[in-house]
Amino acid sequence: MRPQNKMSASVAPAKKKARSFTAPSVIPGFGPTFGFTIFYLSLVVLFPLSMLVLRASELGLSGLFAVATEPRVAAALRTSFFISFAAAAIDVVFGLVAAWVLSRYEFPGRRFLDAIVDLPFALPTAVAGISLAALYSPNGWIGEPLADYDIKIAFTRWGILVALVFVGLPFVVRTVQPLIAEIDAELEEASATLGASRAQTVWRVLIPPLAPALLTGFALAFARSVGEYGSVIFIAGNLAYVSEIAPLLIIVKLEQFDYAGATGIATIMLAISFSVLLAINLIQAWSQKRFGHV
């Protein structure tokens, strides 16, 4: 790439000056494509999002605090965050097992299961929502046997947990899986020759380098779960103070034309998901330094 750049610069030095924003290149079309990119991004994403920031700044910190401490809002935020946290933790445990099994063992149906892991990405949330609700309702395939033991899942907080476990699972599996596939066999062999049992090798040699990826998967699943709406509302029961999630409360506030309340909740949720994203980037930067991979 470099020699060509030098050449174009020496052939047309005037051109370089005219486009000082980019490094010199013979490739055409930067102006229109970059212009359209910025225009479309600003129009569709940045302008609407900045409206949210503007409205939130009108509320001010005290206004945001007032919204957040409103009992119903506080309850919804708590429900969303705690259950998302629990769901992401469950996803980390079972996602790790699933990723391990799918990439290291050979058994009938493995390829099919591997493909179906992405189902929560592809299945529309409303479809997942009604089918989970049907499955866990008192006359559903899972709900009915459980009802005999007086266990209720649909229309309780447990229902929210089930839906969020579904939503977050692929994030963990797909983050960890490539790393498990790339584990260097020499590490395991060295550990075994030095006298470690298989369990010790797995626990003390193989899992620790996966920790950053597991944390990233956890954070991605958590961030997605906090904002999830469609797959939750059908199974949740949506009882105020008990099983009402924050995104639903935004809709409730909008229906009451309480724009300030809706903006407040949305701002708090955004602030938290951006902090989570920032945390992911820090984890990955650290992991890059410590393990040489993300």
Partner 1 sequence: MSEAVAPSIGVPAPRSVTQEAPLTRWLLIGVAVGFLGLFLLLPLAVVFTEAFAKGAGAFFASFDEPDARAAIWLTLIVAAIVVPLNAAFGLCAAWSIAKFSFPGKSVLITLIDLPFSVSPVVSGLVYVLVFGAQGLLGPFLSAHGIQVVFAIPGIVLATIFVTFPFVARELIPLMQEQGTVEEEAALTLGASGFGTFLTVTLPNIKWGLLYGVLLANARAMGEFGAVSVVSGHIRGLTNTIPLQVEILYNEYNIVSAFALASLLAGLALVTLGLKTLLEWRYADQIAGRRRH
Between residue 164 and residue 223, which ones bind partner 1 under the rule CB under 8 A?
Answer: 165-166, 169-171, 174-175, 178, 185, 188-189, 192-193, 198, 202, 220, 223
Structure-block tokens of residue 3: 């020699």
| Part of the chain binding partner 1 (CB under 8 A), chosen from 41-49, 57-65, 68-76, 282-290 | 41-49
Using CB under 8 A, count the residues that bind partner 1: 100
| Cα 40 to Cα 142: distance, rounded to the nearest angstrom | 47
| Cα 183 to Cα 88: distance, rounded to the nearest angstrom | 24
User: Are 137 and 154 within 8 A, CB to CB?
Assistant: yes
| Cα 227 to Cα 186: distance, rounded to the nearest angstrom | 42
List the one residue out of 213, 125, 216, 116 whose CA is nearest residue 164: 125
Of residues 28, 61, 139, 149, which one binds partner 1 by CB under 8 A?
28
Of residues 6, 11, 36, 204, which one binds partner 1 by CB under 8 A?
36
CB of 59 to partner 1, least distance (A): 12
Distant-in-sequence, close-in-space partners of 164: CB < 8 Å, separation ≥ 6: 83, 84, 87, 88, 225, 228, 231, 232
Of residues 74, 127, 151, 239, which one binds partner 1 by CB under 8 A?
127
Is residue 154 a contact point for partner 1 (CB under 8 A)?
no
Nearer to partner 1, 30 or 241 (CB): 30
Nearer to partner 1, 20 or 62 (CB): 20
Per DSSP, 155 falls in state T
In the chain, what is the greatest distance between 2 CA atoms, to the nearest angstrom? 83
List the one residue out of 264, 278, 275, 273 whose CA is nearest residue 57: 264
CB of 196 to partner 1, least distance (A): 9
Of residues 18, 61, 71, 109, which one binds partner 1 by CB under 8 A?
109
Is residue 285 a contact point for partner 1 (CB under 8 A)?
no
**Interface residues for partner 1 in 48-87 (CB under 8 A)?**
48-49, 51-52, 55
Is residue 123 a contact point for partner 1 (CB under 8 A)?
yes
Is residue 239 a contact point for partner 1 (CB under 8 A)?
no
Of residues 76, 117, 180, 210, which one binds partner 1 by CB under 8 A?
117
| Cβ atoms within 10 Å, residue 195 | 7
What does R_g of the chain's alpha carbons equal in angstroms? 25
| Cα 246 to Cα 264: distance, rounded to the nearest angstrom | 11
Nearer to partner 1, 69 or 281 (CB): 281
Is residue 241 a contact point for partner 1 (CB under 8 A)?
no
Nearer to partner 1, 63 or 140 (CB): 140
| Cα 141 to Cα 137: distance, rounded to the nearest angstrom | 8
Distant-in-sequence, close-in-space partners of 211: CB < 8 Å, separation ≥ 6: none
Of residues 67, 88, 234, 244, which one binds partner 1 by CB under 8 A?
234
